[in-house]
Structure 1
């Protein structure tokens, strides 16, 4: 059924705080007036929270305070009352042990911020990758009208006449140093060239992937995902988003109207087409849990399996986000999916229009950046979900970033008990390993690290790199950066710290992978696996005896269901809390 806008005018939730002449109304309204707001701003016009993840310690979001002013300008123009609200900002490149550990905390804080305060709608101002899912998760749980505006990617990196991508070049050059192909001085010179403007990673890393997911889900205005952070059109997008949220409040256009099963299927197929990050799997599973939309790991494999990867961006391809924008950006990709019968065209977006109405006229300006299907980077993109006795709950691999000759492989396991063991042993020339081996990393999943850090793309041993080898099969219960690449099998579930079969793999065991058959097999008799599991003992939890680390460790779900907290799944709604004054 088409969306039916609510009747307007009507009483808004902010009026529970500000409307009237009671002592409580004056208590809420009067103190806010100390900032110089005139009385008629409290007359029933929509109050919009500009939820801003700006932080100087979140480099990708360092420009969002200025971008918020454009959002606010748009809200004023449309007759709303904007109020900027700082919310939890988790940066992947500064938070330890990993920003992923704090995604749920941020989502919980955003949800309570939205419900507890007098806002009728929210603009979700996001950038670095965990801020996008965390704000979307909080908005889905409250179901207050909400819209995403992303900070945008950095400009292209350039070094000695060649493009270098943030993150991707970091992994490449760190391997080149170990192989003796470049000097430390070269690496340091390239550092500044990787990140030469405000914005998120300029590769199709997790930040750009999640911006694309927000747009494909219908939660951002068309074209939002790819505009560079410093491009004037990014500021225009912010201002237009501010205008749009006011009408969304008037229409009562909510996340539950947009985040439907069709929307998630569109996003999964879009992720395959863009060569998006494996991290999107976890984030969309968690968001679907908040939106009360049934979604499983198997859906990711089924829906994305036959989607060609047509966006030629690092780490899978050659270009960067700047070229993607110039080529036409995500609307072109969505149009291609629609023409191929791989898009639910009628899915609703925050514009109030269907996704097809938004993208049907998109034009591709560069067919090497956004390729036709017959010249796709890989004809079967998406995220492949592998299962077997080593991963009964599933594991994921990104075929577009993997090596074709390793997609079917049998090799001897070299096991690292945790990331510290890996770091202590990987550079040892005496380590018994060659390029035919399978590197296995344990105890780095949601509970194990804790937090599920981006360490799954383990660097190769120097003695292997010196042979000119650039890829090996790597298996873990960890994540990897969306900017990374290689034949890396991730998110093995159940994780080692929860007693999954990954925990009992030993160096010398043989492991077989077959991506086409979706198989991940530990070549041991079932009785031997059972005996090892029977003798397994859970590792001790984190040394902290309280605080958020303990809350996380004790309540986080597995990667195969989104690594959310079980008590945060579902919608709790936007009912106004009781006044205590």
Structure 2
């Protein structure tokens, strides 16, 4: 095993390695027993993951039961709601740090514990890069809280209720009263936000024991699954099932189908692209449109629908959803158990057909993420039609441009802002380089005067991201971003913009020869990030664009599990 390079033999180095780890473990710990890391993102500053220490104990019990040696490894944790300027700035750092620690230590396999938005993507990126046997335990969603008898979807209802306050239809006092009811229990967001999406997609990719993802965080069955995962981790090492044997193009095909069927977050696009990049798999934006855009939306969950994650779990979970679209899945894709994903389908009934719609009566006939191209997004942009207003999916309107998120906040409620229901709000400087870190600001709050007029949606375009819990007719991930010289930097107030989602185009209706004479907005350029040291500088200097996953250029491609030099 890989750990033998540290522990086997009678020389001085082996003596030192064993001696320092011999703190209460039996002699047999170093005699052919797989050394399994439990990469744990638990942190009090990542409240969605704060329960993972308890989950880790169940994992460790399973590892020991199966004959392995469990070794808890705290890794970088990213709290989506707290980390500034945005958790996405640190996803690649978390992935790189975890990768290096897995490679540097005497570890034969790893169990990955994540929950909050960026933790599962970063752990998958790390495992794909070092390519040692790995399996994921998603931390699971929280239980549903209620306020005045009405269920609350964390994130989604925050956006909705805050807009009602600005519109004058909800008092500030009532808004604040709902705060204590929003987060009912341990676990991540209970909407189909990014955390829920990535937990489910980790299972669709084959990296989770089938039937586990989506188990609510307080549910004791999560601890049972964690124990079983610890047992499986030992078998993964003995069977030499590595991420590179599980994560194939077929796996990503199935993840894209699942993304569409569950109405998942647009953030999954950049995360799946980044994981695929670590494996050298040729996954592109076109794959998301080709595979996923015609898949029916079957899950009636906020923000696209009515229910929440614990409803999905009781209704049958991911396997019940995938059974409905089994004909669209690639049957060759394997899971960590060694069995194909499709082998777990066929006996996964829908227990509540309102939450999970049967294939003949979907929530939407086409629920997948649409990829747009045109002279405003030469390298692509995405939109989630399921969360958009149907009447705006084909639209022509005049641009109202904001040069930074600070500019937006300063002017959005100005009564003299030249905006109406037909306008197209454009926010730039929010891409990977420009902010930096591609913040979740694309779903711009509407101007107060529009809200007061009863308007609840207009077309919005941005080079940043939006929360998976958000909704609206939002075009995001515009590539190249403004700070990378993309055409978004050339847009001016009053320009006509044409959005045609069915036609998959996003067009700045300005003559080509006029565009050729324009220069980038100096106000936007003045707001772009310009770090001089530390991680932010490394990030800005090396981050790729959203259309390839916003990873760092020197991290693309697997590096394997071998350390460059041995200790002496």
Is the pair's TM-score, using the shorter chain for normalization, greater than 0.5?
Answer: yes
Is this contact kept in 2: 1:133–1:287, CA < 8 A?
A: yes
Residue number in structure 1 paired with 2:533: 546
Residue number in structure 1 paired with 2:204: 216
- Secondary structure class of the residue paired with 2:253: helix
- Secondary structure class of the residue paired with 2:178: helix
Task: Work out the CA distance in 2 between the residues paired with 1:444 and 1:313.
Answer: 28
Q: Is the counterpart of residue 421 in structure 1 residue 410 in structure 2?
A: no
The CA deviation at 1:544 is 3.0
Residue number in structure 1 paired with 2:290: 302
1:256 pairs with one of 244, 267, 273: 244
Is this contact kept in 2: 1:100–1:452, CA < 8 A?
A: yes
Task: Work out the CA distance in 2 between the residues paired with 1:225 and 1:401.
Answer: 23
Residue number in structure 2 paired with 1:17: 6
1:558 pairs with one of 545, 548, 558: 545
Q: Is the counterpart of residue 29 in structure 1 residue 18 in structure 2?
A: yes
Unpaired runs of 5+ residues, structure 2, are none
Residue number in structure 2 paired with 1:291: 279
- Trace 1:112-511 onto structure 2 (pairs within 5 A): 112-338=100-326, 341-511=327-497
Residue number in structure 2 paired with 1:74: 62
Task: Work out the CA distance in 2 between the residues paired with 1:292 and 1:278.
Answer: 22
Task: Work out the CA distance in 2 between the residues paired with 1:355 and 1:276.
Answer: 19
Task: Work out the CA distance in 2 between the residues paired with 1:80 and 1:530.
Answer: 64
Task: Work out the CA distance in 1 between the residues paired with 2:238 and 2:534.
Answer: 41
Task: Work out the CA distance in 2 between the residues paired with 1:45 and 1:260.
Answer: 29
The CA deviation at 1:66 is 1.1
The CA deviation at 1:316 is 0.3
Is this contact kept in 2: 1:209–1:277, CA < 8 A?
A: yes
Between stretches 371-380 and 453-462, larger displacement belongs to 371-380
2:557 pairs with one of 541, 560, 570: 570
Task: Work out the CA distance in 2 between the residues paired with 1:45 and 1:350.
Answer: 20
- Secondary structure class of the residue paired with 1:155: coil
- Secondary structure class of the residue paired with 1:373: coil
Q: Is the counterpart of residue 517 in structure 1 residue 499 in structure 2?
A: no
The CA deviation at 1:237 is 0.9
Task: Work out the CA distance in 2 between the residues paired with 1:512 and 1:178.
Answer: 29
The CA deviation at 1:191 is 1.1
RMSD: 1.2
Task: Work out the CA distance in 1 between the residues paired with 2:564 and 2:430.
Answer: 39
- Secondary structure class of the residue paired with 2:465: coil
Residue number in structure 2 paired with 1:93: 81
Is this contact kept in 2: 1:137–1:286, CA < 8 A?
A: yes
The CA deviation at 1:356 is 1.3
Tell me the alpha carbon deviations over residues 238-273 of structure 1, each in whole angstroms, 9 at most, x when there is no partner.
111111110010000000011100000100111000
The CA deviation at 1:579 is 2.4
Is this contact kept in 2: 1:409–1:514, CA < 8 A?
A: yes
- Trace 1:34-45 onto structure 2 (pairs within 5 A): 35-45=23-33
Residue number in structure 1 paired with 2:93: 105
The CA deviation at 1:580 is 1.9
Task: Work out the CA distance in 1 between the residues paired with 2:193 and 2:505.
Answer: 26
Is this contact kept in 2: 1:211–1:225, CA < 8 A?
A: yes
Is this contact kept in 2: 1:17–1:28, CA < 8 A?
A: yes
Task: Work out the CA distance in 2 between the residues paired with 1:79 and 1:214.
Answer: 26
The CA deviation at 1:461 is 0.6
Task: Work out the CA distance in 1 between the residues paired with 2:503 and 2:446.
Answer: 26
Task: Check 1:538–1:470 CA distance in 2 against 1; reply closer, same or farther (3 A cut).
Answer: closer
Between stretches 242-251 and 538-547, larger displacement belongs to 538-547
Is this contact kept in 2: 1:165–1:320, CA < 8 A?
A: yes
Residue number in structure 2 paired with 1:4: none
Task: Check 1:540–1:179 CA distance in 2 against 1; reply closer, same or farther (3 A cut).
Answer: closer
Task: Work out the CA distance in 1 between the residues paired with 2:284 and 2:273.
Answer: 7
Residue number in structure 2 paired with 1:62: 50
The CA deviation at 1:577 is 4.4
The CA deviation at 1:38 is 2.0
Tell me the alpha carbon deviations over residues 443-472 of structure 1, each in whole angstroms, 9 at most, x when there is no partner.
100001000000000000111001111111
Task: Work out the CA distance in 2 between the residues paired with 1:45 and 1:102.
Answer: 34
- Secondary structure class of the residue paired with 1:374: coil
Task: Check 1:502–1:543 CA distance in 2 against 1; reply closer, same or farther (3 A cut).
Answer: closer
Task: Work out the CA distance in 2 between the residues paired with 1:198 and 1:392.
Answer: 42
Task: Work out the CA distance in 1 between the residues paired with 2:45 and 2:369.
Answer: 32
Unpaired runs of 5+ residues, structure 1, are 1-11
Is this contact kept in 2: 1:13–1:576, CA < 8 A?
A: no
Residue number in structure 2 paired with 1:8: none
Task: Work out the CA distance in 2 between the residues paired with 1:413 and 1:540.
Answer: 20
Tell me the alpha carbon deviations over residues 53-72 of structure 1, each in whole angstroms, 9 at most, x when there is no partner.
01100010010011100000
The CA deviation at 1:576 is 4.2
Is this contact kept in 2: 1:501–1:533, CA < 8 A?
A: no
- Secondary structure class of the residue paired with 2:64: helix
Task: Work out the CA distance in 1 between the residues paired with 2:491 and 2:521.
Answer: 13
- Secondary structure class of the residue paired with 1:506: coil
Task: Work out the CA distance in 2 between the residues paired with 1:154 and 1:413.
Answer: 39
